[in-house]
Structure 1
Amino acid sequence: MKKKLRKERDYLSTFNPEKLSVTYTEGITSSSPVIPRRYTLTHSDSTGELFLNVGINYAWGKINALRDEVLGEWKECGNSLCFCIYLYIDQGDFTQAVSAKRYEIFRRELPLALTAIRYGDRILFNTLPYLDQAPIIVNFMSSYPQFARQENWGTFQGFWTENGSI
């Protein structure tokens, strides 16, 4: 599994900070609070732009019918924090073949999404450096059991250390 994740992390080189727009809403600032703090990452297929909304709630109004957004939030995990990601592979009406393709795309593009979240909320990470050590738990949501799973994707520090980004 580690080799596969490393290969997928090579996609981080495609992150372009100039194509990321960040919006803080609903009582969230660039440095607080951590909980509740929810992330909605969407994108434009035509321009390649990424849009990160950080708020107390998810930015449901920014989500399109395809459900190709990345949702994330900080949660308490025992005595520490973890970052939970939710990816909707299908909505129950997709064929297994379509769900398989979406699953593959989400897995391939997730490192880019995590990079955008980390970069977009870098003031919070700089203010609270221990957040770079928090585990990233990814929840693949699917009606097909072979795609519905939970995985530990390491830490945000792992993405920066391996790739020399930030």
Structure 2
Amino acid sequence: MPEFQPDKLTVKFMPPTTPCLPVDGRKYTLTHSDETGALYLAIGTEYDCSALNVKLRDEVMANWDASLGQYLLTVNVYVDGVENEYAQAKARYTIFRKNLNLAITAIINGDKEFYCFFPWLVDCPIYVQFQSSFHEFNQRIFYGTPRYYWLD
């Protein structure tokens, strides 16, 4: 897995979202450039659909929500891609699993100021939902807490 390089991360806030608000429904859209290794994080109340490549569908999307009285960060990835073929889904699942720590690190560190306003969120759970029509890849996996991905 490549190491996170903060200088390769570009962050944009989509109004009305700010570095401190909102918490409920705060959404992240993380995309990247295969050529440069640059990462692009959009933070808003909606996903940044303009940043999505509908042919590749290799973005990572996440959102903060309350569930049973506790906040959690849910990360979503689309395993099947456009072709919806088993071999492709298996390869994409493997790639996502290999690179998710980098993606989550980018999301957490790209929104670091947010945690200054809500420090208790650094100990909330992160769940990754691998979305697939193939049962073995359609999984929800616990990925720790934001504290695990925090860089000083």
Normalised to the residue count of structure 2, the TM-score between the two structures is: 0.95
Are 1:85 and 2:78 matched, yes or no?
Answer: no
> Gaps (5+ residues) in structure 1?
1-10
**Residue identity in the other structure for 2:24:** I
Given the alignment, which residue of 20, 37, 60 partners 1:70? 60
State the distance in 2 between where 1:135 and 1:77 align.
Answer: 11
State the distance in 1 between where 2:71 and 2:134 align.
Answer: 29
State the distance in 2 between where 1:66 and 1:110 align.
Answer: 17
User: Equivalent residue of 2:127, what SS?
Assistant: strand
Q: Counterpart of 1:130? A: 120
State the distance in 2 between where 1:60 and 1:116 align.
Answer: 19
TM superposition shift of 1:80: 1.4
State the distance in 2 between where 1:114 and 1:91 align.
Answer: 20
Are 1:59 and 2:52 matched, yes or no?
Answer: no
Given the alignment, which residue of 9, 15, 23 partners 2:4? 15
The residue correspondences of 1:6-45 to structure 2 (distance < 5 A) are 11=1, 14-45=3-34
Name the structure where helix makes up a greater proportion of residues: 1
Q: How many residues align?
A: 151
State the distance in 2 between where 1:45 and 1:157 align.
Answer: 28
Structure 1 vs Structure 2: percent identity of aligned residues? 38
Normalised to the residue count of structure 1, the TM-score between the two structures is: 0.87
CA contact (8 A) 1:27 1:55 kept: yes
State the distance in 1 between where 2:74 and 2:123 align.
Answer: 13
TM superposition shift of 1:126: 1.9
TM superposition shift of 1:158: 2.2
Task: Give CA-to-partner distance per residue, 1:15-63, whole Å, 9 cap, x none.
Answer: 1000000000030001111112100000000010000000110001110
State the distance in 2 between where 1:44 and 1:153 align.
Answer: 24
Q: Counterpart of 1:110? A: 100
State the distance in 1 between where 2:46 and 2:78 align.
Answer: 17
